[in-house]
Structures are given as C-alpha cells and as structure tokens.
Amino acid sequence: MATQTLIPAGDFRTTYAADTTVFPTRTSRNAMIVGIILICFAPQVLNEYTLSLLIQIGIFGIAALGLNIVVGFTGQISIGHAAFFGFGAFTSAYLSNRFGIPVFFCIPLAGIVTAGVGLIFGLPAARLKGLYLAIATLAAQYILLDFFARAEWFTGGSVPASAEAFSIFGYSLRGDKKYFYVVLAYVIICYLLVTNLIRSRDGRALVAVRDHYLSAEIMGINLTKYRTLSFGLAAFFAGVGGALYAHYNQVVSNEGFGIDRSIIFLAMIIIGGIGSVAGTLMGTAFMVLLPESMEWLSVALRGSPIDTVLGLKNNIAFLREMAIGLIIIVFLVFEPDGLAHRWRRIKAYWKLYPFSH
C-alpha cells in the first residue's frame, strides 16, 4: 500500500506493514524531517539559556525513555531510575579519566555497563511483579546511592569527579552551541531505536507481558527473560543519558541522583503518557520547563502581595517540589493517558475543524 498524505476516515489497516509503520502518512514523515532540519538551526538562533534548556530536555528525555520501556511497555514499576542515571554519569567519567578512552566511545560504553548493573538489579524481576518489584527497585536506589558515597576510586567520594568535554577527531565540542548537536544526535538515535524496538518481535513480547502476563506466558513468551531484559534496556538508556549529562556539565557530583530525581523521571513519563514514545519527550519538556516557569513567575511577582505572603524567594524550592507532586496527582486523576493523548485529541479536533460533532 502506498503511503498516503491523509489517513482515511475510520482508520482501516489491512496489512501488518501498515499497522506497524512509524509514520502513518507521508505528511507526518515529511513534517518530522522538516522539524529535525529546523531544530538543527537552533544554536544559531537561540540564546545560551534556551539552548541549555533544550539540552536538558534531550538528556533527561533519553533517560525517561528508558523508564518508559520498563513502566510503559513492560508494565513493571521502577523507583530507582535516577540511580542508574547517576551510574552512567560516573561510569563515563571514570572510563575516560582512568583508561583514556575517547569520550565518543565512553558514552555508549557507559550505557552498556549501566545495562549490566540494571540486569543485576532486574534479577528480582524474575520472581517478582507489581509492588514487590517496585520495592526492590527502591532498595536498588538506596544501595547504589550508598555505593556512590563509598566508592572513592570510582566516584571521587565527596570530591566531584571531573569529566572531559566531548570531542570527535580531536575537534572539541565544548559549550552549549556545539554540544547541542551531540545531544540532538543521541536523541534521534535513541528515539528511533525504541520506536523500532516496539515494532519488533521483542517489543511486542514486552507489551504482551504488560497486558496480561499469564496469557503471554501461555503463548510462549519467556517472562523472566523479558522482564529482566526490560530492566537492562531501561538502565542502558539511563546510562547513556547520564553519560551525556556528565560530559555536558564536565563534573559529576554525588548529588542529584536521589529518589526525588527518580520521582521526577516517573512524573515525566506519566505526564507525557505511559507507553508513548513521543509523549516521553513532551513530558520531559513539561517537567524541565515547570521549575523554570515557576522561577520566572516568582521573578515577575517579586514585591507583590503574593510574594510577601508566600515568601517566594526563600521557599521557591519547596514550592517547586510541591508543584511536582501536585502535577503528578492532577495528571493521574484527570489525564491518565498524558499529553500524548491530549495531542491526539487536538489533532482529531482540527482534522474536521469547522464540522466536528
């Protein structure tokens, strides 16, 4: 079937190829390509601050994508994602400092090493499910954090570890303007990988484990293998994200990999849409921009009565934390399918615009 420019009404899919296609129409594919080309010009147009936000969205977006594989596609809960993110950051810094491996190779290597650690902590998944697994990952979070504080040879202990700047063929990509392209390349590669994973045999097996694990097992899907595999995959993307984060800041300290960061990762995928690849990026953008917009709001309100009542200047950190929690609750109660679903609704509304209903 030739690709069309518009989806027909009723959305009939008659072949498997049509059902698993990434872009349902030619227009959507072209729009994506044009979008990527346009974003390549971002460093020339945008200022440093906006760029740094975009880079953060990209980095956290990759890690959140990993979490979405576990939570969204395999239906397991992981509360320890930030620890894997941190492990990736430290591993990449360690590999490049200790063995002198070029940063270009360190990032995927850090992903692989973190995937190994993820597989170890995913082993309880062989026997556990649901909330028992959630509690196991909570323990993993604390154990890994303790390890970071303890292993001075690896993390530098209380002194932050330094990470080299990204360079390729001796050409250093230091600074937001150049590093933006590195992150962009990784975002495109990772999102393509996961989109294709979901279309593959293994991806369908993961979804089957989520939807009904007993039926999946009866159909010959190895539950142990796929549950553990999903943890490994999640840790891989967390590790890649963490490595990118390390070489972006060029310093990795022990802070920022705690349970609160794990909760933010969970918030990203809940807001974006559990089990939606594109939604992950939307949710990440939302969660990165939320604290920033609160910052802008507090600056705008400075000196006003609201400011004096709330004491915005000193308490903005607590208000931010509260906002994160409240946003999660609001989304879970009112919009459990997340922003991705809302986006589809908006598209559906405009498709028949003057004649909807």
Structure tokens at 115: 């995937």
> What DSSP assignment string belongs to 273-285?
-TT-HHHHHHHHH
Binding residues for other proteins, rule CB under 8 A, total 44
- The answer to whether the beta carbons of residues 199 and 16 sit under 8 Å apart is no
Q: If we measure between CA atoms, which residue out of 306, 179, 308 comes closest to residue 244? A: 179
d(C-alpha 268, C-alpha 283), whole Å: 5
Judged by CB, which is closer to other proteins: 92, or 284? 284
Q: Is 142 in the site for other proteins (CB under 8 A)?
A: yes
Q: What x-and-dash track marks residues 44-83 binding other proteins by CB under 8 A?
A: ---------------------------x---x-x-x----
- φ, ψ at 220 (rounded to 5°): 95, 15
Nearest distance from C-beta of residue 73 to other proteins, angstroms: 13
Q: Is 309 in the site for other proteins (CB under 8 A)?
A: no
Judged by CB, which is closer to other proteins: 75, or 118? 75
Beta-carbon contacts of residue 349 (< 8 Å; ≥ 6 apart): 356
- The answer to whether the beta carbons of residues 91 and 239 sit under 8 Å apart is yes
Q: Is 35 in the site for other proteins (CB under 8 A)?
A: no
Q: Which of 49, 296, 318, 349 touches other proteins (CB under 8 A)?
A: 318
Nearest distance from C-beta of residue 306 to other proteins, angstroms: 15
The interface region with other proteins, picked from 166-174, 177-185, 194-202, 331-339 by CB under 8 A, is 331-339
Cα dihedral 217/129/224/278 (nearest 10)? 90
Cα dihedral 35/39/40/44 (nearest 10)? 140
Judged by CB, which is closer to other proteins: 65, or 184? 65
d(C-alpha 174, C-alpha 171), whole Å: 9
Interaction with other proteins in 224-283: which residues (CB under 8 A)? 260, 263, 266-267, 270, 274
Q: Is 197 in the site for other proteins (CB under 8 A)?
A: no
Q: What x-and-dash track marks residues 98-127 binding other proteins by CB under 8 A?
A: -------------------------xx--x
Nearest distance from C-beta of residue 337 to other proteins, angstroms: 11
Judged by CB, which is closer to other proteins: 83, or 282? 83
The interface region with other proteins, picked from 28-36, 234-242, 286-294, 322-330 by CB under 8 A, is 322-330
Give the amino acid at 305.
Answer: P
Structure tokens at 54: 């975009």
Q: Which of 319, 337, 342, 344 touches other proteins (CB under 8 A)?
A: 319
Judged by CB, which is closer to other proteins: 146, or 295? 146
The interface region with other proteins, picked from 33-41, 46-54, 145-153, 249-257 by CB under 8 A, is 145-153
Nearest distance from C-beta of residue 307 to other proteins, angstroms: 15
Q: If we measure between CA atoms, which residue out of 209, 234, 233, 211 comes closest to residue 223? A: 209
Structure tokens at 24: 């349902």
Q: Is 9 in the site for other proteins (CB under 8 A)?
A: no
Q: Is 143 in the site for other proteins (CB under 8 A)?
A: yes
Overall residue count recorded for the chain in this entry: 357
- The answer to whether the beta carbons of residues 92 and 109 sit under 8 Å apart is yes
Judged by CB, which is closer to other proteins: 112, or 259? 259
CB atoms within 10 A of CB 260: 11
- The answer to whether the beta carbons of residues 96 and 103 sit under 8 Å apart is yes
Structure tokens at 224: 């142990």
Q: Is 322 in the site for other proteins (CB under 8 A)?
A: yes
